[in-house]
A and B are shown apart, each in its own frame.
Chain A
Amino acid sequence: MAINTETQKLPEIKPLKSRFRNALSKYRVTITKSCNNCGLCVTLCPYGVYKAGSKKPRVIAEHLCLGFPCKEKEFYCVNRCPEKAIQLTLNPAFEILGDKRWSADLLASAWHMAETGEIPYQGLNYKTGNSGGGFDKLRFIFPKEKGPDLPDEEVSTAIELNRSGDSRPSVTIQVPFYFGGMSFGSVSIVTMLSRVKAAAALQTFCCTGEGGYPEELIPYDDHIITQIATGLFGVREETIKRVRIVEFKYAQGAKPGLGGHLLGDKVTARVASMREAVAGTALFSPFPFHSVYSVEDHKKHVDWIKETNYRALVSVKVSTPSDVDMVAVGSYYAGAHIVQLDGSYGGTGAAPDIAKKNIAMPLEYAVPKVHKFLSEEGIRDKVTIIASGGIRSAYDMAKAIALGADGVCLGTADLVALECIRCHHCESGRGCARGIATTDEELTKLMELEWATQRIINMYLVWRRQLIAILKRLGMKSVTELVGRFDVIGHLDYIKQEDLEGELEL
């Protein structure tokens, strides 16, 4: 199958600061009263932590400070300050920031990439979180001998989404990821549009989620996946006809086997009209599709879309039950081009905690299970597997691909680029206090569209660069070579550095 590797020009990185006055940082820098305002620290610091002030310099960017490792440098301000007026400490807030999956380091790394378009240098672990399993215990095994140093432009990150060999058009995305569904209602129109615009710029897709197709999205039709979920909110014939990919959401990893739930507070007049519902009432999306009792019924669903839009690819989003391999085969049989496996640690606007933690299996098990099974059935080449539900970094993405996915679908990471802090209160009252997952008019204004779009672009361009670096170290020229390469990835509990021919990345 020919893959369209001709890279159209990807967007450029444009540094963009935090929306908030004080960016959250790992270190705290304070200047005490003994400062004589000599200005040495301002000229010394290559990271722009200080700005000259009238009485003493101002600390304007603690989050860019190199921190304790700076001690080794000749420009270390704490030592060089003639009055010993500078104090460098760990920020106590860093201890409560984030959680085991999204550690404070991962959050701060994402913010750094979205702000600067660079890999963080402040000693932040931007590769793994602290969950103690799955991706956080998987490591790449790189060959010891270095291959030829290819220029980045010669490594392809493009993937083809239509592998079925049918008569429908080829759809190539230039990066091996697209953005998952977040409905209008669960997030603000600014958030939604920024994700769509970033997807268009990165030459990939963004899914609408189940909440209608706001008309602001129409200019980006070619980069939109419209979702049909069990509530059928906002599903219309013209929206299905408009797009290149239509997605059926059977289940969602965060709440497998349960329906969607938009709390009444977030159902504003506009959200309600989009969903043909009444403002202020909680909206349930029932589980499951009550028209589907079998794989044959599922096939009718897929056929219905194919009839309505003769050029669309069909994606099927499923959760990860114990028989996830059979579910994948069933979806393929029904004619799906893309099977999206949404692992159990994925994101949501609101879900019972018991479901998020306990129901269905994590992505790290589901992807290799499905990949192996489809390979044995001889149909792996005919379907695109997209992994989602807990991909936090470029490393998670690369690991998911090595475990057998063709590409990944992202959601929470986008929001973190927009300075989501993972407080887990997206569902309550006026919604997100940081203006991301809200429909409140005033809170929506906290974020500008251009800023948000560029932040997402910045972060994912860094991810792409990291992916290319991984591929190059593995001696690969295309991300498609990485798919299902169980031999280049190991689990820390089962593999030891001394037994390996290659180099285990720690």
Chain B
Amino acid sequence: MPPKYHINTSRAANRFQLITKSGVMAWEEGCLKCARCVKKDCVYKVYEKRGLDTRQMLESLDSVCMDCFRCVQGCPNKLIQKGLNPAYKELGDHYWTPEIISGLWYQAEAGRIPVSGGGYGGAFSGPGFDAMWTDMSEIVRPTRDGIHGREYISTTVDIGRKVMALEFDQAGALSIDPPPVVEIPQPILFDLLPWSPPRKGINLAMLEGARSLGTFAIVRQSEFGPAMEEYLPNIALYVDGKLSDISPEILRKLRLIEIPYGKDAIAAQKKLKEEHPGLVTIIRMELAPDSSSNVFRLITEGAGAIHLVADEYGLEKSDKPLFIKERMREIHLHLVDKGVRDQITLIAGGGIAMAEHVAKLIICGADMLSVDIPLLVAMECRVCRRCKDGISCPVELETIDHLWGASRIRNLMAGWHNQLLEILGAMGIREVRRLRGEMGRAMFFEKLEKDIFSTLGKRG
């Protein structure tokens, strides 16, 4: 496989014991010491490997148990039981579910995608991203080149304004100056974190992760410090102060800069372009009901890349908020309608929690995405949000070694990359740029339900 498309992973062990879905409850009283559970029944040798994690004073039993119930069903005195772990149930919230969080932990630790036996065990459908399915093709398409063909699927995307046609002078030389674009190998940027414990180490882990993946981490100007200078080629600096406070040396080394949406945004972009022609400017705006008209106006005024940000549940800013997937569909189709969609790079973020969300949001019209919370979860965050209230982090995120954090982030992103390839491969699409806006290759719950189920039960 060309190295360009491959992400090396290596196992990066958990620092804290996993919170698993269920726990083993074994009563000592009445135990016959027959050792049946240890010797005979447990295929996974859970009881033999049993130990105590002295750091947390936790039994190892639960984290290695594979839920086969052999010991429960084998114990002559019925002394072993399994029960739901209350700590698991309390992970995250309605959106950042325990299943999502533990799935992210697995990928960040193992650097592998979740594979399992048996069919899907989840809900038929759900809100948001769970209300769509992606397409597949039964027979050969160009991507399908043996089992390794999938590795030649390109996930590269470009950030920046695109010219729709090249123009040449009489002598045959290029007569226009195409604006710069920044190419990244995976359609994912690392976004500002909505909350976290003090993030000196966290920032460095994200930057190291971004560097090793060839992508960018968005860093607040106010948090930028000398320790980050070596990462400048992988930083998208977010201007949360005065543009004039950023030194020209730093701007020279930057390739991406992000400025907030506002009346001065286009003027700031122009100024940056004049002084640093190679720098690509992204305009960051909150996703809202009027986004499509605002985006269209920005395009006519010369914007090249717009970062649309929803909240951490994927909701836009409104009293009756639309979910990011719905709003992006509307924006994309509006721009297609206006004939300007291909000129702009749309980056969408907020509520991106799983690999499937990447593919689905691109289908709904984003060129690429920004992720935030999953990067923290990669470093064992439990989405308890206690840091928001200044309470100490249960997994001591402020103390992480940034290289460990970076390898966890790389593992997770490698997993997401691989899963994106699964989706693209099944659809027979050779590059992620062609996935953008392919709504005809997706199936939407609302439409299918109405088409199929509303006609049932009628006589005649």
Partner of B115, one of A101, A351, A362: A351
Return chain A residues, CB-CB under 8 Å to B144.
287-288, 290
Q: How many chain-A residues does the 8 Å CB contact rule pick out?
A: 99
Interface membership of A310, Cβ < 8 A: no
A390 to B44, CA, bound (A): 29
Determine whether the beta carbon of B103 is less than 8 Å from that of A433: no
Which one of A99, A257, A297 has the highest number of Cβ atoms from chain B below 10 Å of its Cβ? A257
Q: Which residues of B contact A369 (CB under 8 A)?
A: 451-452
Kindly name the residue among B21, B76, B425 whose own CB sees the greatest number of chain A CB atoms within 10 A: B425
Docked pose: A136 CA to B419 CA in angstroms: 29
Contact residues in A for B138 (Cβ distance below 8 Å): 250-251, 288, 318-319, 321, 327
| A-chain residues with CB within 8 Å of residue B115 when the two chains form the complex | 261, 350-353, 427
Q: How far is the CA of A356 from the CA of B426 in the complex (A)?
A: 12
In the complex, the answer to whether A434 meets B70 with C-beta atoms within 8 Å is yes
**Closest-CB distance, B417 to chain A (whole angstroms):** 12
Q: Which residues of B contact A294 (CB under 8 A)?
A: 139
Q: Are A346 and B119 in contact (CB under 8 A)?
A: yes
B390 at the A interface (CB under 8 A): no
Proximity bits, A322-336, B CB within 8 Å = 1, else 0: 100001000000000
Beta-carbon contacts under 8 Å, A428-473 to B: 428-430, 433-434, 437, 443
The reply to whether the CB of A345 lies closer than 8 angstroms to some CB of chain B is yes
A102 to B136, CA, bound (A): 25
Q: Which of B68, B116, B428 contacts A433 (CB 8 A)?
A: B68
The reply to whether the CB of A68 lies closer than 8 angstroms to some CB of chain B is no
Query: In whole angstroms, what is the CA distance A261 to B117 when docked?
Result: 11
Residues of chain B lying within 8 A (CB to CB) of residue A254: 119-120
Is B340 in contact with chain A by the CB < 8 A criterion? no
With A21-B73, A434-B70 known as contacts, the answer to whether A257 contacts B425 (CB < 8 A) is yes
Q: How far is the CA of A93 from the CA of B24 in the complex (A)?
A: 10
Residues of B within 8 A of A21 (CB): 73-76
A322 touches B125 (CB 8 A): no
Among the listed stretches B81-89, B245-253, B261-269, which one makes contact with chain A, having 4 or more residues with CB under 8 Å of it? B81-89
A92 with B81: CB separation less than 8 A: yes
Q: In residues 42-78 of chain B, which contact A (Cβ within 8 Å)?
A: 43-44, 66-70, 72-76, 78
Measured CB to CB, the nearest residue on chain A to B103 is A353
Question: A321–B136 contact, CB under 8 A?
Answer: yes
A489 within 8 A of B: yes
Question: Of all chain B residues, which has the CB nearest A362?
Answer: B124
B427 (CB) vs chain A CBs: closest residue: A257
8 Å CB contact of A348 from B118, B135, B451: B118
Q: With a CB–CB cut-off of 8 A, which chain A residues contact B440?
A: 322
Which residues on B sit within 8 Å (CB–CB) of A351?
115-117
Whether B121 lies near A102 (C-beta < 8 A) is yes
Chain B residue contacts of A288, Cβ below 8 A: 137-140, 144
A residues 66-98 in Cβ contact with B at 8 Å: 91-93, 95-96, 98
**A491 lies within 8 A of B118 (CB):** no
- The answer to whether A93 and B117 touch across the interface, beta carbons within 8 angstroms, is no
Asked whether A357 and B120 contact (CB < 8 A) given A20-B73, A425-B66, the answer is: yes
Structural contact, A486 and B120, CB atoms closer than 8 A: no
| 21 pairs from A and B in contact (CB 8 Å cutoff) | A21-B74, A91-B81, A131-B123, A251-B136, A257-B425, A259-B147, A287-B426, A288-B138, A290-B144, A321-B135, A321-B138, A351-B116, A352-B422, A359-B134, A364-B452, A412-B118, A412-B119, A423-B118, A425-B116, A486-B456, A494-B453
Q: Using a CB–CB distance below 8 Å, which chain A residues touch chain B? A: 18, 20-24, 91-93, 95-96, 98-102, 131-134, 136-138, 141, 250-251, 254, 256-259, 261, 284, 286-290, 292-294, 297-298, 318-319, 321-322, 327, 344-362, 364-365, 368-369, 389-390, 412, 420-430, 433-434, 437, 443, 486-487, 489-491, 493-495, 500-501
Given A96-B22, A137-B124, 12 additional A-B pairs, CB 8 A: A24-B72, A92-B83, A98-B121, A99-B122, A100-B121, A138-B453, A322-B135, A348-B119, A354-B114, A358-B423, A361-B133, A428-B66
Closest 6 CB pairs of A and B: A257-B426, A133-B124, A426-B117, A99-B121, A490-B457, A257-B136
